[in-house]
Every structure is written in structure tokens, then in C-alpha cells.
Chain A
């Protein structure tokens, strides 16, 4: 049963319309019945309307460069389609009713008029993913109980320290130091208040070669972004996210009250992380480290539910995991050996992208003259301790207890050469996870020559092409996002989206000699070098973060259950906006695969 006759305007994007806009919509929309197999919208044709599914199932088809069509998305009740066709004048995709379906039709002229006259509604379509992501973020913050209750007045904003525009940089810096604040308010009688941060001062001196006696006035940013002191804490977080800033002003009425930084906001949510760090510092036995380590998954769940950003979560988890491993290394490896080995974490842990612990993927680089038996002994003890702290043994034996994942630099270089010479699936996977390796304990210098020679060996065209080939192997968006039937496992986010993005970025980074390991940093660097456009780099990062968030959400909900399909989500049960974001993300993955195909001249 449908509750109402008209389009539900309580959900995005229609909730972005004001009352006049909603009335315009209502006065224009019809309801149309489509028999099964009926084509609703033809690719390459002008669209007379945009559509919202009222009942039934509509499938979107992509025409392939090689000819033919492929279903790439399912649309169910509430889903909007054809908006791109209406706005661009021509449909990219075909849409067909997969079963008898009812759709609301919004005439093209009315749809265009609404996007032009209603800026928030228009931004939804014109600015694409970033806008949808912010809305979803708001929804998620709003859905989280504690985040709803916490107000800015519950935190301790930093006091406001004011200076005049003519104040010298040196005096301003002194004031920052004395008052222990991160920023100063520059009171300009003409321009109003501006803000100068520690970073601004540093960059003025170090990068723009200003003199300590120069005034701070010209460095101030305006207008200042501020939040009401009585507002909810997540508002501050959202404002910072929206404006790409790390600090907002807090005002009470028309009086400025203080400043609030991202760190303070997150500290309010995540004091538990400091406790874990403290506990680790004090731990004197493996059992005590394990005690502290078991609290980490719970922390991840809490922070996630409070709406923490994925990149922040991953950084935090990676920092804490690093401390756990370092502490275990100190406790398990005999002191004389500690400087003779380097512990590497591989794969997602190496990229600092692990959220919930998966298998141990680690390796040891040994000093040339180290006794293999002593190394084997230490590795066995350390591996067992890591297992005790919640990392189960790797089924593929990619771990330090396996002699194949220990060795001195020449041994490692020889292994790498062998993998490159005989690039079967296992060898390719080994190369991939080793590319992401990060030294977390011991004598980190030992690892450097191994990783450097790996990077240069993989930078060769042939090796790159075989790697790139893997990233395009899974046909993305699609058939697997096709119709999701009951009894199946849902949508495999790892195969379909996370792996192609991570592996593609890895391959491009190798080609460009980029040393960054984290996928988000790799994307940043690829943008800096012009390999990826700025917009596309951002789309890839957002798509990756989205898939990681959806996967984590599913994993957290099934925590404690032995899930056979930890990388699957039930796309048909996702909130509508997430489903829409996922569809966008899958399209981005497809575009990325095309980009890789061109870049590395690969066949389909």
C-alpha cells in the first residue's frame, strides 16, 4: 500500500524543495503504468520527463563500446531516474520495466525549472556526489543517539584571543604560545573579524618569506564560519566538513565565545581512544596488550555510529594498531634482536585502511648476519602474540611464522624477481600486498631497500600492465549489482568496488613512482601530478570511503556472528540515499576501469 497519491517529498532530493517548489512538482506529476519489458527511456534520445518509481522494478542499461547492452542498476520504489537525461538533454542509459511498474513522471520543463529556481535542489544534481554525501552524513549524525544529545556547550571551546590587524607576526606568534591557542581573531574595524591560525603564520614565514615584523592583518581569513554555542556538536563537525576547515568559531547571540577545533570535537567523542593508548603504554605483558586491543573493535563501532569520517577512523585504528604491534614486538623479540629485524604490515593494514581486524598479513625483513633459527624463534613467538591480540592467522600463510615471508634484503629481492618473472595469481597478489607494506616496528631502515627495489621492479611497463589487468577483471557495476534475489549473499563490495579502486590507484602510483601507500593519499598525489583530474580523484576517494563505510556498517551489525560474506551488503535494504550513492560509486568504478584500460592499453 502506498500512503499517498503524490511523490513523497520527505526524502532527498525532493525534501530540498521549498513549499512553492513542492506545489509546482505536485501540479505537474502524473502516474504512468509500464508493462513488463516496456522501455521507459531510450539511450541517446531526448527525455520528456524524469521518473520516480512508485511500484515495481526498473532496470538501467549501459550500452557497451563493444556493442550490446548491460543491466547496471536496479531501481525500486522511491528511486529517481532520468534526471541526467533531462538536464543534459540526452539520456546516457536506457531504462526498462523489469516487471509491471508504476512511475511518477516529472515533465522535463518542470524538472529543469525546479533545478534552476531552487538552488539546493539544483545543487543535488549539478554537484553530484559530494552533495549527496553531505546529506547522508547529516542523516547519519542525526540517527546517532549520543551525537544528537551532545551540544557544543558540553565541550570546552578554546578561549578567544584577539589581535589588531597591525599586530606583527612575531607578536601574534608569541600570543598564540602564551595563551596556548591554535588561532587568533583579527579585529578589523572595516572588514569585521577574521581568523589567523598557527598554520597561516607558519606558512607566511616559511613559504611566503614574510618578516616577523609584518602585520598579521592580510593573513586573516574571512568570513569566519561560526556555530551557535547551544547548537548540537555534530553541527560543528558538519560545518567543518562542508567548508574544509579544521576549526570554527563559537558564538552566543551576537557575541563571539571561543573557537572549537576538529580535534576537540573528536576528543569529545573518542576519549576512549586515549584510554586505549594509555593502557598500551603501560602494558607489561602480552596479556595486558591483548586486553587493551580487544577494546578497539568496540571503539570503532562507537565512533562509526557517532558519524566519524572514514579517513579519521582509519587513521585512528591504524595508529592504535601500530602501537599494539610495536608494543608486542618489544615484548616478544629478545632485545639484542630488536634492531636486527623490521616488522612489516602488508595489504590493508599497510595502507592504513584496516577498520576491523582481518587476517594477519605481515612479513619480516632480517639483517644480513642474523641467525635464521633465532629469527624463526622470535617470529613464532611474535606471531602467536599477534594472534592473541585479535588478528587471526592468515589462511594463505602470508605471515611471519612462514619462512617464505621472512628473509634478508637479497632474499626478498630474489623473491620479488621470481614473482615478477612468473606472474601467476598468487604472485600478483603477493606483489600487490608487499607494495603496500609499512614497517611498524624494529629497525625500519632494513625494509627500505626491499621496498625501493620492489617499486622500481614493478614500475616496468609489463609488470604494470599485468597489475592493471587485475583491476579491470571484475566487471563492475554490474551484473552483480543487478537484481538481488533472496537467498543470495548480496553485493560484493570488495570485488566490485573496493579492490578495483585500491588496486588501480596502487598500479597508477607505481607507474608514477609515488611512494604513498594509503589509497586516499595516492589519489591526492595522482591529482597533484595531473594523472587524475581533481574532480575524478575526489569522486574515487568518495566512492572508496562510501564502500568502506557500507561494508563496515554491515560488518558491525553482524559482529560476533561468523559471517561467511564479510564483504557483502544487501543493496536492496540500504537506505535509499546510500543506494543512490552506491550506484554513483559503481559508475565511478566503471569509469576508473576505462581509464586504466586506456592508460595501460589493455583489451577488454
Chain B
């Protein structure tokens, strides 16, 4: 039992298959804002498996937040064509299976996801990694006093990764996937 728990919490290795995930939301508060789009891509080694991508819009009729729309460019019109949240969540959990999750500022996405998943009795794999934290830890080893989390664009530049379709869930997921590969390559 304990062994199972320990192995479930061991760090995500760069050479194992992972899923890189990104959400677009109606705002920044996981307690009251809603998931509007989910995108995820598997990564195996140096390969981003675009052809196995997971990409869904979530049906949403909640209050409109113009600030967030400016950010993710998903108009109410766009998300009205989406699938019900419950459907998207159970598809996502099935699709991820037991692969570890990777993201940028993963805590944010996980907070939204666990709120959406718990009513369904579903849960995500326990193991996950955050490219922002990983880079911050590396920076801290070199310059302990000045290391701070890097903004998304800044991190992409640090790692020499192109920013692909910024502020679209799939684009951000692929960019994050490349950050993960770059971190693994320079590890």
C-alpha cells in the first residue's frame, strides 16, 4: 500500500509518456469561474503526438467576462457549440488514462479540473509536473536569491521554444509540450 503510494508520487521522468494539458477559462478564480476549452497532447520522448490530440470546447452560458474573452478569444458564440462539461471531463479522464500530467502553472488547471471532476466521482492521475516550477528550481540552483517564476512567453524564450498559437488551448498545450521536451533535453 505504502509502496504503491510512493511509486504513485515519484517525480515524472522526461523519458516516460506524458500528457501536456492546457485550459481556457472564463476567469482566474477556480471557485466561481468555468472551464471553456480543454486541449491536451501526448508527448513521447522528443515527439509531440499532435495526431492524438484532445481538443474540446465546453458548452457554456454563464456570465460573460470581457477581460477573459480578450485573453482567450473564445466568444460566447463559440462556446455555445461546445459539449457539456460532464461529457468533456469523462472523455478527458478516459483519454489521459494513467499518464502523468504536465502543464504550465499546473496548480491553476488542476484546481479547475478537480472542481469539475469531483461531482462525477472521477479523478486525474496523481503524478504531475509543472514546467514553470522546474525552471524556477533550476534557476534557484544557479542564482538562489533572484530565482522567480517566469511568465509563459519569458519561459519559452529561455528554453528556445517557439510560441505556437498563443492563447488558444491547443497552441498553449503544444508550446508547453515543447518546453517540457526542451527541459528534458537540457537536463
Contact = CB atoms under 8 A, between A and B. Distances in A.
Interface of A: 1-6, 26-35, 54-55, 100, 102, 104-105
A4 B172 CA distance: 10
Contacts of A35: 46, 185
A393 to B, nearest CB: 53
16 contacts: A2-B162, A2-B165, A3-B165, A5-B170, A28-B51, A30-B49, A30-B50, A31-B50, A33-B46, A33-B47, A33-B48, A33-B178, A34-B46, A35-B46, A102-B162, A105-B47
Contacts of A104: 50
A27 to B, nearest CB: 6
A100 B166 contact: no
Contact of B162 (A1, A30, A32): A1
B61 to A, nearest CB: 28
A551 B178 CA distance: 40
Contacts of B46: 32-35
Nearest to B42: A30
Nearest to B49: A30
A2 B185 contact: no
A102 B165 CA distance: 15
A29 B53 CA distance: 10
B35 interface: no
Given A4-B171, A5-B170, A6-B50, A33 B164 contact: no
Contacts of B163: 1-2
A6 to B, nearest CB: 7
Contact of A29 (B51, B165, B168): B51
Among all A-B residue pairs, the 3 with the closest Cβ atoms? A31-B48, A33-B46, A2-B164
Contacts, number: 55
Interface of B: 46-51, 160, 162-166, 168, 170-171, 174, 178, 181-182, 185
Most buried by A among B49, B50, B178, B185: B50
A32 to B, nearest CB: 5
B155 to A, nearest CB: 14
A5 B171 CA distance: 6
A33 B45 CA distance: 9
B87 to A, nearest CB: 22
Contact of B166 (A1, A26, A55): A1
Most buried by B among A31, A32, A105: A31
Given A2-B164, A5-B168, A102-B178, 6 more contacts: A1-B164, A4-B165, A5-B165, A30-B47, A31-B48, A32-B47
Contacts of B185: 33, 35
A100 B171 CA distance: 20
Contact of A31 (B165, B166, B174, B182): B174
Most buried by A among B164, B165, B168, B170: B164
B139 to A, nearest CB: 20
Contacts of B182: 33
A3 to B, nearest CB: 6
Contact of A30 (B48, B166, B168, B178): B48
Contacts of A28: 51
Contact of B48 (A27, A32, A34, A100): A32
Nearest to B173: A5
Contacts of B171: 4-5
